[in-house]
Amino acid sequence: MEGLRIEAQRLIREGILNFARHPLPDHSDVFTVLEFLQPDHPPRQQSLTSRQLRENAYTIWNPSFEQFRPPAEPMLRLVTFEFATDFSNMGRQFIYARRGVFMDIFQCFHLDEYILYMVGHDLEGFYILDDVPGREPCFCIDTVAYKLIWTHDEAIHTTNALLLSRKTKNSLQASSEFRQTLLDHRRLVSSPYLLAFVSAARSLTFINSTLTKEGINTRNMERETGWKSWRHEDGYKPNDDADPNTLMEWSWLMHSALANLHNAALHLHRTEATFELIKKLIGSYGNGQKGRRAQASNIEILRAVKVLQTQCTFGAKRIEHLEEQCRLQVSAIASTIARNDAQAALDDSTSMKVVAIMTMAFLPATFFAALFALPSLDWSQSNVIQEKFWVYWAFVVPSTLAIFAMWLPFTPRLVKWRKRKVVPWIQQQQQRAVREEADQAAEVVSVRRRESRRRSVSVAPMSSGHKHEYV
């Protein structure tokens, strides 16, 4: 593990993790600090400058300080920083703070150096570093919206945490909702696993809201297309009047819903694994923790985890169901587009048939008129019809009738040949595509089942000798 820390320090020096001034002047040197002191009271919120943060890191927050006074009650301290990812520069992370200030807080909270490597990458999951004897475990939760790092000092009943919030509108909103959920569960501040539980619970709330939204979108799409797996008494009829732009918009909406459901499945996997690991942690570390409050908080967390794990189980099935509904709508929309294309091709074929008939009707007459060059009509004479007029039509009429006589029987035979040769080939291709799609769906279900069984048996009990747990 020491080699990993050395490698992490080298990569940090090479610029994987950088520090910069906040782009907004009002936020350039102000950091929010929340301290949960009393379970029945709201947290104390402070806005501290870099200088004040550094002073606190060396004095009132540092147990090594001579005049340090431990809190009388269990306490959770949460310091918030903002960061951004420069995707145009190899995905490098930029923390909006001074390097010295951030590192002073990092060392004051006794955070593991390898955490800096994790912060420098988007490694979503729940991590625990507990390989250093005599030092409290270091926890890290990495999500799309924020990164959460903390340690719990059992001697002074204090949890010190850093919240790194991604500087985007949605991520800042997610961080704010995380803090609100933490406020709702502040009675459990004695447990070192409170932050992991709150993060997973908040993630599950987000997943449930996503499934509700996509379920509504799918039902609305069923109403628009008229295709669904169930019917009212009067039933819905397929919508055959949608224009191509509307069909393309429907297709885009359903593919967007499938992408959102895929993301929800990924978040649900991380949430399930986090809940499972919390149970293992409480079973391994919890027995050795002192204080009735900590044990009571852990028991309360276990009760809540049991309820939320049930939601995860049924949520996974709901995701599968919604994905199948979305795929049904995508297939229905694709079928409608194909039918419209076929109708357009049929209309074009009818137009071409009219052109062909007109051509066959006039071509013989034109041919013989050019061949004979007969002056069959003379409008300057009293007798307009000339004597050789009937010779011209004696050739034109039989030739035209002969052409139609040959064309009429040839067309049905051509249609029969297409039905006998072309249509079966198209049906075979369609059946092959359906079988391949069914095989792929079965493979996905099989993989998910294997992953579910693997997760249920692969999380080993935690012990102080474990070096690095990843979920």
Asked if 228 and 290 sit in the same domain, the reply is yes
Q: Quick one: 24 and 152 in the same domain?
A: yes
- Kindly calculate the radius of gyration of the chain based on its CA atoms and give it in whole angstroms: 37
98 Cβ contact list (under 8 Å, min separation 6): 19, 50
Same domain membership, residue 207 and residue 122: no
Low-confidence spans in the chain with pLDDT less than 70? 25-28, 229-240, 285-291, 346-351, 354, 367-378, 386-388, 407-408, 410-431, 433-435, 437-438, 441-442, 444-471
pLDDT at 456: 53
At residue 147, the pLDDT reads 93
Asked if 23 and 120 sit in the same domain, the reply is yes
Contact yes or no for 6/17 (Cβ under 8 A): no
- Do 80 and 116 sit in the same domain of this protein? yes
pLDDT by residue (tens digit) across 17-62? 888 877 776 666 789 999 988 777 788 899 998 899 889 888 888 8
Do 142 and 24 share a structural domain?
yes
Is 158 among the domain residues? yes
Q: How many CB atoms lie within 10 A of CB 424?
A: 10
Residues 170 and 237 in one domain: no
- Number of domains comprising the chain: 2
Region of residue 33 (left: phi > 0; alpha: psi -120 to 50; beta: else): beta
Assigned domain for 64 exists: yes
Task: Indicate whether 150 and 230 sit together in one domain.
Answer: no
pLDDT at residue number 304? 94
Q: Does 280 reside within a domain?
A: yes
Which domain-ending residue is among 123, 149, 180? 180
Whether 254 and 151 share a structural domain: no
pLDDT computed for residue 146 by the predictor: 92
Residue where one domain finishes, among candidates 180, 212, 242 = 180
- Domain membership flag for residue 372: no
Domain with 11, as residue range(s), is 2-180
The pLDDT, as a whole number, for residue 250 is: 87
Examine residue 256 and state whether it is found in any structural domain, yes or no: yes
Looking at residue 441, its pLDDT comes to 64
The answer to whether position 418 is within a domain reads no
In one letter, which amino acid is 132?
Answer: V
Domain annotation covers residue 96: yes
Residues 150, 24 share a domain: yes
**156 shares its domain with 207:** no
Residue 175 domain flag: yes
Using CA atoms, how far residue 262 sits from 211, 313, 320, in Å, is 11, 16, 10
Provide the pLDDT for residue 458.
46
Dihedral class, residue 90 (left if φ above 0, else alpha if ψ from -120 to 50, else beta): left
Side-chain-side CA neighbours of residue 371 (13 Å): 11
Helix, strand, coil % over all residues of the chain, rounded to 5: 60, 15, 25
What is the spatial distance between Cα 27 and Cα 19, in angstroms, rounded to a whole number?
A: 14
Q: Please, what's the largest Cα pairwise distance for the chain?
A: 134
- Among 323, 339, 355, the domain-final residue is 339
Please check whether residues 214 and 302 belong to one and the same domain: yes
Q: How far apart are CA 101 and CA 162, in angstroms?
A: 13
CATH assignment of the domain containing 39: 3.30.460
